[in-house]
């Protein structure tokens, strides 16, 4: 990363949106087609950046995430800059939690009208972060890899471009419904396990 880019990303603590403000800002920005349109989706996306197979320049993932230009990093006092700052702080919070006390990691999930946790937005945000770098994720996408199961609690909540379940239709029955209802509880553990899985190669590449 260039000196200018590093300086810009490091200074984003100057003015920050709250997470609630960021959620509203994303929804108002939907017409610009950001990668995510809600805070839970953003949270899943950021978690994938933290726990994924490669280190990525903040400009390369924050710009498409928020549908902003790189120049937004250079102008404090704007709504875009405040959104950038909020994203960086959430990224750092997730990274610090997973590094120091992973059992405290809590994805941001909304609730369904019946009160059940709705993990779909978070998981679809995570999946969206995988898309530009699928070759790097390939080992965990290989069903022959015993660690493929780490992605299952996330991918089972995702859909393809046609809106069809990414893992195919779920089996009918009470046990399946119960599994789907509670699968979100495995997400914190699998995110940390993925972070550990990628760590040797991720930091070897960085070095």
Q: What is the mean pLDDT of residues 131-151?
A: 95
pLDDT given at position 165: 80
Q: Is 172 exposed, middle or buried (0-12, 13-18, 19+ CB in 10 A)?
A: exposed
Query: Could you give the CA distance from residue 34 to residue 63 in angstroms, rounded to a whole number?
Result: 9
Query: Distance of CA 25 to CAs 12, 62, 72, 133, Å?
Result: 17, 15, 15, 27
pLDDT tens for each residue of 185-202 = 999 999 999 999 999 999
Residue 167: pLDDT above 50?
yes
Residue 207: pLDDT above 70?
no
CA-wise closest residue to 183 among 147, 155, 141 = 155
User: Between 43 and 15, where is the model more confident?
Assistant: 43
Distance, CA of 119 to chain centre: 12
Query: Could you give the CA distance from residue 25 to residue 125 in angstroms, rounded to a whole number?
Result: 16
pLDDT given at position 171: 65
> How does DSSP classify residue 170?
P
pLDDT given at position 170: 64
Query: Could you give the CA distance from residue 14 to residue 104 in angstroms, rounded to a whole number?
Result: 27
pLDDT tens for each residue of 54-100 = 999 999 999 999 999 999 999 888 999 999 999 999 999 999 999 99
Q: Does domain 1-207 have CATH number 3.20.20.60?
A: no
Give residue 26's pLDDT band: very low, low, confident or very high (50, 70, 90).
Answer: very high
pTM, full prediction: 0.87
CA-wise closest residue to 121 among 38, 15, 33 = 38
pLDDT given at position 30: 86
Q: What is the mean pLDDT of residues 32-50?
A: 96
The residue behind tokens 């996306």 is: 45
Give residue 155's pLDDT band: very low, low, confident or very high (50, 70, 90).
Answer: very high
Residue 206: pLDDT above 60?
no
Task: Please state the domain extents for the chain.
Answer: 1-207
The residue behind tokens 């017409």 is: 31
Identify whether the C-beta of residue 9 lies closer than 8 Å to the C-beta of residue 58: yes
């Amino acid at each position: 990363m260039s000196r200018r880019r590093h300086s810009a990303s490091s200074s984003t603590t100057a003015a920050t949106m709250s997470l609630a403000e960021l959620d509203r800002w994303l929804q108002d920005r939907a017409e610009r087609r950001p990668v995510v349109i809600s805070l839970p989706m953003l949270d899943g996306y950021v978690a994938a950046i933290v726990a994924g197979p490669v280190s990525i320049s903040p400009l390369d993932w924050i710009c498409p995430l928020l549908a902003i230009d790189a120049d937004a990093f250079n102008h404090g006092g704007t709504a875009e800059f405040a959104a950038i700052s909020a994203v960086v702080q959430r990224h750092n919070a997730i990274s610090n939690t997973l590094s120091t006390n992973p059992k405290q990691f809590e994805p941001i999930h909304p609730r369904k009208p019946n009160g059940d946790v709705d993990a779909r937005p978070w998981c679809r945000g995570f999946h969206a972060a995988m898309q530009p770098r699928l070759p790097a994720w390939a080992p965990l996408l290989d069903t022959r890899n015993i660690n493929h199961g780490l992605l299952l609690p996330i991918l089972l909540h995702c859909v393809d471009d046609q809106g069809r379940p990414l893992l195919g239709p779920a089996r009918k029955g009470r046990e399946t419904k119960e599994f789907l209802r509670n699968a979100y509880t495995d997400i914190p553990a699998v995110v940390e396990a993925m972070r550990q899985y990628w760590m040797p190669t991720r930091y070897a590449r960085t070095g």
